[in-house]
Amino acid sequence: MAEIAKAELRAPHGGRRFANSTITIEAALPACRIALRAEPKAASKLTKSLGLKLPVKPAGVTTKNGRSALWLGPDEWLIIDNDPAAATGLVEDLTAQKCSAVDVSHRNTAILVSGPAVEGVLNAGSPRDLSLKTFPAGTCSRTIFGKIEIILWRLDETTFRVEVWRSFSEYLWDYLLDAAKDTGI
């Protein structure tokens, strides 16, 4: 009998890093990602399965024990768990609650961009106002970067997590590097 081969999920930019005195661009650690759709009024019922409350306000993010929920729309969230193996049990628990929960860990990857020049580098490809007043730490937004869709999550004053489809990650990486050079950094 032939052995069954198992695919190994590897980050497309694992170990890749660029840094200078004002900007750092690096691959985020592997994570579990769940695309969650549910009726807004059912959001509170998913708290037990998720281990955290879903944010119900635009751009909201909640985090607890290494798991985060990012508000993407009135009935849509992206769940990110630092444990890449968390997906199987979590999807089963959530779908039992009559919502749509799809493991998209294989589809997405993330790049961390940080430093004092972070807003300038990200604004080279995104029209989103990233000033702290408009986009404070702990908020997120689905937006565009160049020609691709991304999810921006401001982790703190000078750090963003950029979620992107794996197939567009090389484009994003190269664009960020060019932006870092073009902004005179």
Model confidence pLDDT, tens digit, residues 113-155: 999 999 999 999 999 999 999 999 999 999 999 999 999 999 9
pLDDT confidence bin for 96, thresholds 50/70/90 = confident
Single-letter amino acid, residue 10: R
Question: 46: helix, coil or strand?
Answer: helix
Domains, the chain, ordered by start: 16-29+106-185 (3.30.1360.120), 32-104 (3.30.70.1520)
Average pLDDT, the chain: 91
Please give the Cα distance from 90 to 101 (Å, whole number). 9
- pTM recorded for the entire structure: 0.91
Split at pLDDT 50, 70, 90, the class of 181 is: confident
